[in-house]
Structure 1
Amino acid sequence: MTKKYVANIVPLNAEGIGTAPHGTATFTETGNQLHVTIEMFDTPANTQHWEHFHGFPDGKAAQIATMAQDVNHDGFVDLPETEPVSGTTMVPFDNAPHHMDVPNDNYPVADAQGHFAYEIDVPLGDLQAKFKEVFGTDDLELDKRVIYIHGVPQDLALPASVAGEVGMYDAHVTLPIAVGKIEVTED
């Protein structure tokens, strides 16, 4: 049986970053494989973009963040400000999603026009096993998740109030630039 999900990815923090990233993500479960495609346009050019699905481990449905989540009113919705509506970072879309190793340098890099396309086949059993180890369930519940695209150039001036450090990576790497609600599709 095949299950397919899609997310229409819309801009977040567009005014502050000077561009309006947008795109589409599709997730197709077939047998023991999850096929993921993500295509983005108008992202900050020549920049690596972390991308993940976020959600709540208890199964509560995640929602996309909007500028309403800018609780400190600094003009940016940073990673910590997304958590009340979107939950925690769960699965990265890097070179090995099933390892769930979030902080790394193996994410797509946008070209000079701000475009990138990502496509990968993920061993679903391996991903579910790692997901269960980390979150206590092997059910990915994609229809209760949101996808975030992150990352702005290091030379973009961000207010000191913008948070989101993850290990050695600062808020430039983790700043959300686009988000989409993952939904079941009949397509």
Structure 2
Amino acid sequence: MIIMAEKYRAEIQSLNGDKLGIHPSGEADFTIDNDTLTVEITMNQTSPNTQHWMHFHGFPDGRDAKPATIAQDVNHDGYVDLPETEPVSGTTMVPFNDKPAEMNIPTDTYPVSDANGHFHYEKQVSLKDIQKKFKETFNDDELHLEKRVIYIHGIPESVDLPDTVQGSVMHYDPHTTLPIATGKIEKVD
């Protein structure tokens, strides 16, 4: 019996672009083939020469996550910051850095965009390893990619943000965690 690979894709669109003057876009592809999860993310028009934290977000209880929009700007400062995404998108789950299966969010191993705001990320991960860590953290060994959203974060520290823009509950700087793009992960037939 031949088992076909499962494929998922997210079309990633700008969030906070009007306030930041950048309009990132790109795509994320996820392929599960036997025990390998391959993640490939290509982004354009992000902040140049900037490290971009990337993750999929979701709800540990299995609810379907949705990408945040300007409607989530509950304090009306013109920005949708990370805490404001949580009611519709859930919590940060899996990072796309040098070791996604370790699920260690705060690292300096995320991609850095080039002078044109472009970057490409590709990583193969043991599905068993990531499912084991996911179960330890979220009490579920299935990733449920079709119920997740992807976020691209990060702007240069030189950007002036109002004090109302929050980093996160983990007290990271809002320049690191401000979402600049998001997309819904969907199964590809």
TM-score, structure 2 length as denominator? 0.97
The letter of the residue matching 2:100 is: P
User: Which secondary structure does the structure 1 equivalent of 2:157 belong to?
Assistant: coil
1:158 aligns with 2:157: no
Deviation digits for residues 73-121 of structure 1, max 9, x if unmatched? Answer: 0010000000000000000000000000001110000000000000000
Q: Contact 1:12–1:176 (CA<8 Å) still a contact in 2? A: yes
Residue equivalent to 1:121: 124
Unpaired segments ≥5 residues, structure 1: none
The letter of the residue matching 2:48 is: A
Residue equivalent to 1:17: 20
Aligned residues between the structures: 186
The letter of the residue matching 2:94 is: V
1:48 aligns with 2:51: yes
Q: Contact 1:148–1:178 (CA<8 Å) still a contact in 2? A: yes
Residue equivalent to 1:36: 39
1:78 aligns with 2:81: yes
Residue equivalent to 2:95: 92
Change (3 A) 1:166 1:84: closer
Distance 1:48 1:139 in 2: 29
Q: 1:179 aligns with which of 179, 182, 185?
A: 182
Distance 1:167 1:69 in 2: 20
Distance 2:63 2:170 in 1: 27
Shift of 1:168: 6.5
Shift of 1:164: 1.6
Distance 2:16 2:24 in 1: 9
Q: Contact 2:51–2:111 (CA<8 Å) still a contact in 1? A: yes
The letter of the residue matching 2:57 is: H
Shift of 1:173: 0.2
User: Which secondary structure does the structure 1 equivalent of 2:124 belong to?
Assistant: strand
Unpaired segments ≥5 residues, structure 2: none
Q: Contact 1:103–1:166 (CA<8 Å) still a contact in 2? A: no
Shift of 1:169: 3.1
Q: Contact 2:55–2:93 (CA<8 Å) still a contact in 1? A: yes
1:66 aligns with 2:69: yes
Distance 1:125 1:6 in 2: 21
Report the more deviating stretch, 31-40 or 161-170: 161-170
TM-score, structure 1 length as denominator? 0.98
Task: Report the aligned-residue RMSD.
Answer: 0.9
User: Which secondary structure does the structure 2 equivalent of 1:52 belong to?
Assistant: strand
1:146 aligns with 2:149: yes
Q: Contact 2:83–2:168 (CA<8 Å) still a contact in 1? A: no
Moved over 2 A (4+): 165-169
Q: Contact 2:83–2:169 (CA<8 Å) still a contact in 1? A: no
Residue equivalent to 2:9: 6
